[in-house]
Amino acid sequence: MQRSTPVDPTKMGTGRAIAVLTSGGDAQGMNAAVRATVRVGIYTGAKVYFVHEVCTSKHTHIRNKELKGGTVIGSARCQDFRSKEGRAKAACNLVKLGITNLCVIGGDGSLTGANEFRNEWSELLQILLKAGKITAEEAKRSSHLNIVGMVGSIDNDFCGTDMTIGTDSALHRIMEVVDAITTTAQSHQRAFILEVMGRHCGYLALVTALACGADWVFIPEMPPDEGWEDHLCRRLTYQRSIGNRLNVIIVAEGALDRHGKPITCDIIKNLVTKKLSFDTRATILGHVQRGGTPSAFDRILGSRMGVEAVMALLEATPDTPACVVSLSGNMAVRLPLMECVQVTKEVTKAMAEGRFEEAVKLRGKSFENNWNTYKLLAHVTAPDVKSNINIAILNVGAPCAGMNAAVRSAVRIGILQGHNMLAVHDGFDGLAHGTIEPMAWGYVGGWTGKGGSNLGTKRSLPASMIEEISLNIAKFNIHALVIIGGFEAFVGGLELVTAREKFEELCIPLVVIPATVSNNVPGSDFSIGADTALNTITTTCDRIKQSAAGTKRRVFIIETMGGYCGYLATMAGLAAGADAAYIYEDPFGIHDLETNVEHLLEKMKTTVKRGLILRNEKCNANYTTDFLFNLYSEEGKGVFDCRKNVLGHMQQGGTPTPFDRNFGTKMGAKAVLWLTDKLKECYRHGRIFANTPDSACVLGMKKRAMIFQPLFDLKEDTDFEHRIPKTEWWLKLRPILKILAKYKISLDTSETATMEHVIKKRGTV
């Protein structure tokens, strides 16, 4: 929403005081949220205080906390706060320090308690006045308390937000264990049962099941049907019969049957061992899921939420209800706190009353989409009636983690629709040379967790071999194409559509699924593979910073991939706490470099004697990585020394992150379901004929939803020379990077997030 009058962001907090506290269970990413709240609060001119395990103190230093798990200011479930006397004592502490803005990071219990505290604030002031603990002037000055919440919980059990702070990191811990278990289980032909946390929410279990291709998942929102024991045994037996050496069953800690009885690892283990005589092992993960360093996603999420929380506090009026800042798609939104709490309680009530379908819907669109995708992929028997449709899948461009997950999902959904699925090896070259073969259900078994491209991929574009491609489309009777890849996939798709005028064989529906570490495909805010690359860069930056911590007075200059797209450099800069990130989209000159050097010279006078500079590989043809290294080395003589690191192709490798596995799985499934509907539309006079613009689309994540956009419509928004979209949503996050690095810059506050209503929103998505 546009502001009527511009506001100077550096004066918004003048004369105001903000306290930030973490409460309840800890979660990775809380520190990033605390750091952002403190630094943005100070940037606005406000005084900022920590509440250390329910004790208030002025902030000291918060450097490099974004890379630590847990919460450095401590978290507790305070018993004193449950009594009015305890709350009056807390109110007195706040009044004495002039604090009227409270930022609470915690779960639904903590946020509900904070809201109750706000509601009885006036009453607490009267109690303190009568007791003579505060003066009338102090009471007047602190007449109103603003509260904004950020949800920090690995369970992702708070309705209204797609992801709570800590959830993604917990999934990283879980998938590390699942991947390790997978190797040992395959060696011995074992069935593994894994219990994950989540209290009464099945999100962690559900996404884990999707991300590892589990045979079965038990979640509290949707207990299994009566007779599930026999059904489970049939499915495990079938998996073994088609050659799978491994069975994986995921159990949420709050899983129940239809009668409300707990379903535990031991119950399932005894069942499988007794009925099937399978060698079975059970593992309960426990608190390892809360530990470790936060993922790149959680660091960025915490940072973004921290910024939004400060703005929400400073823009609040006495009539503004307490709100939570949350994530919807890739957008930061504000939601009324008690509406979210109400819906969260409705989920528990729906489960208790056996309204399980409603419970899944109440969890939100993200949870519902995950559940629907899991249900689709859980069926392992193909339909008896075949569609006689052949859908070919190819990977184009550079390889990236998550490509295989998208292929697996597309293949299996296609088979379940009755289609014949064809593998095209080596991109458009393979389509031209006829290296095409059928894929059965087992062909893609175990692909979800594998990095790179099992189909093989090349950067070649189809224009130079369009005739050969059209001949092979006819020869193999291909009715539709799924093209998974980066900018080459987008351009290649366009070339195929353009050639429809000359080659009738190309008049078939096609869909492009963005998959590239560069995240530069028009029509999508995110690409498969970018999250894995981002975590690789962030982890490397963490290690480099640790190295610099030992030597002191050292600045590291790190070059990232991405072509002309600065997504990786910017987001890694946010996640790793970089001092600067140079990218093509944000032009810079010698004066900017001078400012950055001076900033580092000043930083070396503080207790933190290290610096981190990120440079996108094609940000500037003249200001190369070597140039920056030489410049910083020369200007820092006697104060700091420099090292450089070109990360290179390690950013394309590795096993996919939970996000990329899940994202790839959902994209692959959605693409094939869309093609199935499009093929019905295009079936005329006994054959497929698709020549309309909407029969060739990019499937992308835009703001809050996965949508299909015609390739031709996206040409206007594409800079073909530099291989990037003309509009990139993440550029709005760059000022946050600079503010968190303590630069005195101007933050655009002309747009503010409006308060949305989760109850109305739930009915319309």
Radius of gyration (C-alpha) of the chain in whole angstroms? 27
Catalytic residue among 26, 155, 298, 525: 155
Structural tokens at position 427: 């991109």
pTM above 0.75, yes or no: yes
Q: What is the mean pLDDT of the chain?
A: 90
- Best CA proximity match to 714, nearest among 423, 490, 416: 490
Helix ranges, 436-555 (H) = 466-475, 487-498, 530-551
| Model confidence band, residue 664 (pLDDT cutoffs 50, 70, 90) | very high
Q: For position 685, what pLDDT does the model report?
A: 78
pLDDT in tens, 307-323: 999 999 999 998 899 99
Q: For position 164, what pLDDT does the model report?
A: 93
| Model confidence band, residue 73 (pLDDT cutoffs 50, 70, 90) | very low
Percent of the chain past pLDDT 70, that is, above it, reads: 93
Rounded to an integer, what distance in angstroms lies between the CA atom of residue 583 and that of residue 616?
Answer: 5
468 contact partners, CB below 8 Å, separation of at least 6:
432, 433
Q: For position 54, what pLDDT does the model report?
A: 47
Q: For position 327, what pLDDT does the model report?
A: 84
Rounded to an integer, what distance in angstroms lies between the CA atom of residue 630 and that of residue 633?
Answer: 5
Helix ranges, 255-387 (H) = 265-276, 296-315, 337-352, 356-362, 365-378
Residue 496 has pLDDT above 50, yes or no: yes
Q: For position 385, what pLDDT does the model report?
A: 84
Percent of the chain past pLDDT 90, that is, above it, reads: 75
Residue 62 has pLDDT above 50, yes or no: no
Query: Which residue type occupies 646?
Result: V
Q: For position 228, what pLDDT does the model report?
A: 95
Q: Do residues 718 and 487 touch, judged by C-beta distance below 8 A? A: no
Domains and CATH numbers, the chain: 17-163+294-347 (3.40.50.450), 168-290 (3.40.50.460), 385-528+670-724 (3.40.50.450), 534-652 (3.40.50.460)
- The string of DSSP codes covering 598-611 is HHHHHHTTSS--EE
Establish whether 155 is a catalytic residue: yes
pLDDT in tens, 684-697: 878 899 999 999 99
| Model confidence band, residue 667 (pLDDT cutoffs 50, 70, 90) | very high
Residue 55 has pLDDT above 60, yes or no: no
Rounded to an integer, what distance in angstroms lies between the CA atom of residue 425 and that of residue 427?
Answer: 6
Rounded to an integer, what distance in angstroms lies between the CA atom of residue 137 and that of residue 406?
Answer: 63
pLDDT in tens, 103-160: 999 988 889 889 999 999 999 999 999 999 999 999 999 999 999 999 999 999 999 8
Residue 630 has pLDDT above 90, yes or no: yes
> Where is the binding site, in residues?
25, 77-78, 107-110, 153-155, 190, 197-199, 253, 281, 287-290, 459, 516-520, 554, 561-563, 617, 643, 649-652, 723
Residue 698 has pLDDT above 80, yes or no: yes
Q: Do residues 49 and 101 touch, judged by C-beta distance below 8 A? A: no
| Model confidence band, residue 70 (pLDDT cutoffs 50, 70, 90) | very low
What's the rounded mean pLDDT across residues 549-574?
93
> Where is the binding site for Mg(2+), in residues?
108
> Where is the binding site for substrate, in residues?
153-155, 190, 197-199, 253, 281, 287-290
Residue 367 has pLDDT above 80, yes or no: yes
